[in-house]
Amino acid sequence: MPNPSLPAEAEIVERIQESESIYTLRLRMTDQAAHAAYAFVPGQFNMVYLQGIGEVPISIVSDPDDDSLLDHTIRAVGRVTRGLEQLRAGQRVGIRGPFGRGWPLDQACGHDVVLITGGLGCAPLVSVINYVVRRRERFGRLVILQGVKHTDDLIWHDRYMAWAKLPDTQVLLAADIAGQGWPYHVGLVTELIDRAQFDRDNAIAMMCGPERMMQACAEALLARDMAAGNLWLSMERNMHCGVGHCGHCQLGPHFVCKDGPVFNYTELAPLLGVRGF
Ligand SMILES: Cc1cc2nc3c(=O)[nH]c(=O)nc-3n(C[C@H](O)[C@H](O)[C@H](O)COP(=O)(O)OP(=O)(O)OC[C@H]3O[C@@H](n4cnc5c(N)ncnc54)[C@H](O)[C@@H]3O)c2cc1C
Ligand code: FES
C-alpha cells in the first residue's frame, strides 16, 4: 500500500454470520490494481475503518495464496466492531495494511507445528493452517488445539472436522462449559497439551488467545521441555496508527503493531502477566 496512513476503499462482497456475536466480512478493494498487488503473510492484520466511527486492528484470516477476497472474522464487542456488524454486502469500509510481523513459517519448515488457540484467537491461525495444508510436505505433524469458554462460542466446527481427517494432523477441542451433546474435552485448552502428539524436540508452537491462556500454555510446554525459542505468541493491544508512530500499542520496549503482533516467548517472558504492561 503506497501510503500506510490512508485507508483504501474495500467493498463487502460477502458477510457471514459465524455465531451470535461473530461475523466474517469478505472484502475486495475497489481499486483492482491495489487488490491484485496486495500480499500478506499469516499473522498480519489490517486496520479496518468504518467511516464516521473509527478504526480497529483485525487479523487477516484468508488463505494467503487465494487472492480473491480478504476475510476478516470479527467479534462485536464495542463501538467499531458493533458498527461493522451492521454492514451488509455491497457496502464499503476502508482498510490499511497489511501490518505487523507474522508467524515464523520459514523457521517452522521441517518441524511439527502446534497451534494453540482460545476463543477468536483461532482467527489469525487459520491462515497458518491453510499455509501448512497447501505445503504439507514441508512440515511435520500439524496439531490444532482450540479452546472456547462455552460450546456455543465454537465457530468453524466443519473446518476442524475436515482438518482432523488430514494425514499427520490432530485436532483437539475443549470448552470450559459444555452444552448438551458436546463430544470433546470439557475444561481448559491447556489440559489438551498432554494428549497432543508431537515431537517436543522438533516442534514450533504458535499461540493466540487471552494473555493468561497463552502464558499458561507456554508454561505447560516449557514444563514438557520445549525450548522457549520455539514458542510464539500473538499479542493484542489498542492501536491507533498501526505503523509504530503513536505509541498506543506499547508493550514494554515493543510496539505490538510493528514489532509484533507475533513475538517469540523469549521477547515477552519478562512482560507477561506483569501489571501495567
Ligand atoms: C493485532 C490484532 C489483531 C486483532 N484481530 C482481531 C480479529 O481478527 N477479530 C476480532 O474480533 N478482534 C481482533 N482484534 C481485537 C479488536 O481490534 C478489538 O476487539 C477492537 O479494537 C474493539 O474495538 P471496538 O471499538 O469495537 O470496541 P471498544 O469500544 O474499543 O471496546 C469495547 C469494550 O470491549 C472490550 N474489548 C475490546 N477488545 C476486546 C476483545 N478483543 N475481546 C473482548 N473484549 C474486548 C473493551 O475492553 C471494552 O470494554 C485484534 C487486535 C489486535 C491488536
Ligand atoms: S499503533 Fe501506533 S505505535 Fe502501534
Q: Whose CA is nearest to atom 38 of ligand 1?
A: 77
Which strands form 70-75's sheet, in the order they lie side by side? 54-59, 45-50, 92-99, 8-17, 22-29, 70-75
| Cβ–Cβ under 8 Å, residues 175 and 149 | yes
CA distance 208 to 64: 19
CA distance 74 to 210: 15
Ligand 2 pocket, Cβ-based, cut-off 6 angstroms: 239-242, 244-249, 255, 257
What is the reported pTM? 0.94
User: According to the model, what pLDDT value does residue 271 have?
Assistant: 86
Name residues whose C-beta falls within 8 Å of residue 158's C-beta, 6 or more positions apart in sequence. Answer: none
User: According to the model, what pLDDT value does residue 2 have?
Assistant: 62
User: According to the model, what pLDDT value does residue 275 have?
Assistant: 65
Q: What's the 258 CA to ligand 2 centre distance in angstroms?
A: 7
Ordered DSSP codes for 57-89? EEE--S-TT--S-EEEEEE--SHHHHHHHT--T
Residue 273: is its pLDDT beyond 80?
Answer: no
Cβ of residue 239 lying under 6 Å from some atom of ligand 1: yes
Q: With bands split at pLDDT 50, 70 and 90, how would you rate the model's confidence at 5?
A: confident
CA distance 104 to 160: 22
Q: With bands split at pLDDT 50, 70 and 90, how would you rate the model's confidence at 159?
A: very high
- pLDDT, tens digit (0-9, with 9 covering 90-100), for 226-252: 999 999 999 999 999 999 999 999 999
Q: With bands split at pLDDT 50, 70 and 90, how would you rate the model's confidence at 135?
A: very high
User: According to the model, what pLDDT value does residue 15 have?
Assistant: 97
CA distance 42 to 147: 20
273 or 72, higher pLDDT: 72
DSSP 101: B
User: According to the model, what pLDDT value does residue 276 have?
Assistant: 64
- pLDDT, tens digit (0-9, with 9 covering 90-100), for 9-40: 999 999 999 999 999 999 999 999 999 999 99
User: According to the model, what pLDDT value does residue 138 have?
Assistant: 96
Secondary structure class of 194 (helix, strand, coil): helix
For 31: left if phi > 0, alpha if psi spans -120 to 50, otherwise beta; the answer is: beta
CB atoms within 10 A of CB 77: 12
Which candidate, 95, 77, 69, places its Cα nearest to that of 16?
Answer: 69
| Cβ–Cβ under 8 Å, residues 87 and 15 | yes
* Grid coordinates given for 126: 487459520
Q: What angle do CA 118, 120, 125 make, to 5 degrees?
A: 80
Q: With bands split at pLDDT 50, 70 and 90, how would you rate the model's confidence at 155?
A: very high
E-only strand ranges, 100-161: 112-118, 142-150
Q: Whose CA is nearest to atom 7 of ligand 1?
A: 58
- pLDDT, tens digit (0-9, with 9 covering 90-100), for 45-102: 999 999 999 999 999 999 888 888 999 999 999 999 999 999 999 999 999 999 999 9
| Cβ–Cβ under 8 Å, residues 39 and 14 | no
Ligand at shortest distance from the CA of 54: 1
Residue 1: is its pLDDT beyond 70?
Answer: no
Ligand at shortest distance from the CA of 243: 2
For 270: left if phi > 0, alpha if psi spans -120 to 50, otherwise beta; the answer is: alpha
Name residues whose C-beta falls within 8 Å of residue 253's C-beta, 6 or more positions apart in sequence. Answer: none
Mean pLDDT of the chain: 94
| Centroid of chain to Cα 142 | 16
User: According to the model, what pLDDT value does residue 3 have?
Assistant: 81
